[in-house]
Amino acid sequence: MLRFSAPPLWLIGVCLFLPTVRACSKMESPASLLGGDGGFFVALLSPWLVAQLLGILAIVALARGRVGRGITVGSAILTLSAAASSVVLAAVSCFDRAKLSEQLWSCAAGVAFVAGVVVMWRARRLEPFARLSRFVAAYTLFTLPVAALLCRIAVEDGLHKIGIGAPLFVGAVAALAFLHARALSSRA
């Protein structure tokens, strides 16, 4: 499944520069949002930032026919970096007295974070290619809350609030979820 994961990871990286959401009257790309509000947007947009690097590490491992220690450590660090988005989305409603629906979305983001950490923890004893594949599966779990947020924006605020980057991002995350669903459901 690892070789099929590279194209969706690449697409997520490309979506960093595509118009994704409407902020006020202007369509914004994730890259344009990185300039403001410091760490919040960097954490929220971390799946876009690390996707291509994770894909490159997978391609290098496949081309070499082995997963070296550097690729393992690098992919683990990149995957954990992507977890920042689910942590931010889980924490957003915890500090506010938000509506119940907002708190449920925050809980779902927290569950995605915990599930991703469990997948990474369980991957430590697998053979190198299986471990790398599980890291991509954990990345997918960490990215699901952001994809759900984009879907919520489209449904609740209208399609005019999203740009081409949003459906491409959600489609790429859905492709990764489909590719890694079997690995996530197995006991290994």
Helix/strand/coil (H, E, C) string of 122-147?
HHCCCCHHHHHHHHHHHHHHHHHHHH
Q: How far apart are CA 122 and CA 132, in angstroms?
A: 12
Task: Name the domain count of the chain.
Answer: 1
Residue with tokens 């629906």: 101
pTM, two decimals, is 0.92
For residue 106, pLDDT over 90 is answered with no
How big is the chain, counted in residues? 188
Q: Which residue has the tokens 């369509």?
A: 27
Closest among 18, 5, 88 to 48, alpha carbons compared: 18
Residue 156 has phi, psi (to 5 degrees) of -80, -35
* Structure confidence at residue 40 (pLDDT): 81
DSSP assignment letter at 187: -
Report the number of secondary-structure helices (H) and strands (E) in the chain.
8, 2
Cα–Cα distance for residue pair 175/178, rounded to 1 Å: 5
**What count of other Cβ atoms lies within 10 Å of the Cβ of residue 16?**
20
Domain span at 32: 2-185
Q: Note the pLDDT tens digit of each residue in 121-139.
A: 999 889 999 999 999 999 9
pLDDT of residue 90 exceeding 70, the answer is yes
